Amino acid sequence: MVRIGDSIKRNEDPILLRGMGNFVADINHVGQIYMKVVRSNIAFGKIRNIDIDLALQKKGIINIWTSTDFNNIPKIKFRMMGFSELENYQQPILAKNFVRYVGEPIAVIFATDEHLAEEAENLIKIEIETLPAQSSASEKPLYFDDKLKNDACTVEKEYGNVENASKDSQNNLTLSFYVGRHSGVPLETRGLSTSLDLENNIIYLHGAAKVPHANKIILGEMLNLDPFGLELIEGHVGGGFGVRGEIYPEDVLIILATKEFKLPIKWIESRKENLISTNHSRDQKHITNVGFDNRGFINYMDCEFFTDQGAYIRTHGITVSELTASMLPGPYLIPNYRCKGHVRLTNKTPSGTYRSPGRFESTFVRERVIDAVAKYLGKSPNEVRKINFIPPNLMPYKRDMNTLGTEIIFDSGDYPKLLENALAQMDITKINLEVKKRKKEGEIIGVGFGYFIEKSGLGPFDDVKLRVNQHGSIQLITGVASIGQGVETAMAQIICDRIGTNMNDVTVVHGNTELIERGMGAFATRVTVMTGSATLKAVNELRKSMLRLASKKLQQSEVKLIINNDNGCVELENTIGGPSIPVKEVLKELYEEDRDNEILATFESAHMTYPHGLHFAVVNIDRLTWDIKIEKYCVFYDVGRSVNPLLLEGQIVGGVAQGIGGTLFEEFKYDNSLQPVSTSFVDYKIPTCKEMPYVDCYIYQNDKAPGNPLGVKGAGEAGINAVGATIASAIDDAFDGKINIDTLPVTPNIIKHANELNT
- According to DSSP H, which parts of 265-401 are helical? 271-277, 319-327, 359-377, 381-388
- Asked if residue 306 and residue 204 are part of one domain, the reply reads no
Instruction: Please give the Cα distance from 191 to 296 (Å, whole number).
Output: 51
Range 74-83 average pLDDT: 92
Average pLDDT in the 574-597 region? 92
Torsional class of 716: left (φ above 0), alpha (ψ -120 to 50), beta (otherwise): alpha
Instruction: Report in angstroms the alpha-carbon separations of 168 from 291, 349, 370, 657.
Output: 9, 44, 20, 43
Choose the final residue of a domain: 604, 619, 653.
Answer: 604
The answer to whether 228 touches 476, Cβ cutoff 8 Å, is no
What pLDDT score does 134 carry? 92
Q: Express each pLDDT in 717-727 by its tens digit.
A: 999 999 999 99
pLDDT at residue 717, as a whole number: 96
For the stretch 330-351, pLDDT in tens is 999 999 999 999 999 999 999 9
Q: Is the pLDDT of residue 139 over 80?
A: yes
Please state whether 189 falls in left (phi above 0), alpha (psi between -120 and 50) or beta: beta
Decide which of 241, 268, 295 is a domain's last residue. Answer: 268
- Residue 333 and residue 214 share a domain: no
Is residue 463's pLDDT more than 80?
yes
71 pLDDT band, cuts 50/70/90, is confident
Q: 76 with 123, same domain? A: yes
The per-residue pLDDT for 142 is: 79
CATH number of the structural domain spanning residue 574: 3.30.365.10
Spatial separation of the C-alpha atoms in residues 289 and 137, rounded to whole Å: 20
Cα–Cα nearest to 107, from 162, 147, 139, 70: 70
Residue 464 lies inside a defined structural domain of this protein:
yes
Residue 84 is predicted with a pLDDT of: 86
Q: How many domains does the chain have?
A: 3
3-state class of 106 per DSSP? strand
585 lies in the same domain as 622: no
Which of 580, 604, 628 is at the close of a domain? 604
- CATH code for the domain of 243: 3.90.1170.50
Q: Does 289 share its domain with 382?
A: yes
pLDDT at res. 244: 94
Mean pLDDT of 690-712: 97
pLDDT at 187: 93
Segment 539-559 mean pLDDT = 95
Q: Is residue 445 domain-shared with residue 425, that is, in the same domain?
A: yes
- pLDDT tens per residue, range 471-480: 999 999 999 9
* Mean pLDDT value across the chain: 96
Mean pLDDT value of segment 237-265? 97
| Residue 552 and residue 516 in contact, taking contact as beta carbons nearer than 8 Å | no
Domain with 392 in it: 281-457+607-757
Beta strands in 216-322 (DSSP E): 230-233, 265-268, 281-292, 298-310
Whether residue 212 lies inside any domain: the answer is yes
HEC per residue, 130-153: ECCCCCCCCCCCCECCCCCECEEE
Residue 172 forms part of a structural domain? no
Task: Tell me, yes or no, whether 670 lies in a domain.
Answer: yes
State pTM to two decimals: 0.96
- Does position 574 have pLDDT exceeding 90, yes or no? no
What local confidence, expressed as pLDDT, does residue 395 receive? Answer: 98
For residue 20, pLDDT over 90 is answered with: yes
Do 526 and 444 share a structural domain?
no
Residue 610's nearest CA partner among 734, 479, 703 is: 703
What is the residue-wise DSSP string for 374-414?
A: HHHHT--HHHHHHHHBPPGGG-SEEEEEEETTEEEEE----
Instruction: State whether 227 and 369 are in the same domain.
Output: no
Same domain (yes/no): 318, 337: yes
Position 538 pLDDT exceeds 80: yes
pLDDT at 81: 87
The predicted-structure confidence for 31-48, as pLDDT tens digits, reads as follows 999 999 999 999 999 999
Residue 141: pLDDT band (50, 70, 90) is confident
Per-residue pLDDT of 83-108, as tens digits, reads 888 999 999 999 999 999 999 999 99
Query: Is the pLDDT at 577 greater than 80, yes or no?
Result: no
Whether cis (ω within 30° of 0) applies to the bond prior to 132 is no
**Separation CA 734–CA 665 (nearest Å):** 19
pLDDT in tens, 666-681: 999 999 999 999 999 9
In a domain, 7, yes or no: no
Instruction: Report the C-alpha gap between 399 and 329 in whole angstroms.
Output: 10
Say yes or no: 306 and 439 in one domain: yes
Question: Shortest CA distance to 231 belongs to which of 258, 268, 261?
Answer: 258
Is residue 251, in this structure, part of any structural domain at all? yes
Say whether the peptide bond before residue 460 is cis (omega within 30 degrees of 0).
yes
**Looking at the structure, do residues 522 and 587 belong to the same domain, yes or no?**
yes
104: phi > 0 → left, psi -120 to 50 → alpha, else beta; which?
Answer: beta
For residues 511 and 435, state if they share a domain. no
Angle at 321 between CA 315 and CA 327, to 5 degrees: 125
What does the buried/exposed string (b/e) look like for 585-611 if buried means 16 or more CB atoms within 10 Å of the residue's CB?
bbbbbbbeeeeebebebebebebbbbb
Residue 746 lies in a domain: yes
- Is residue 15 in a domain? no
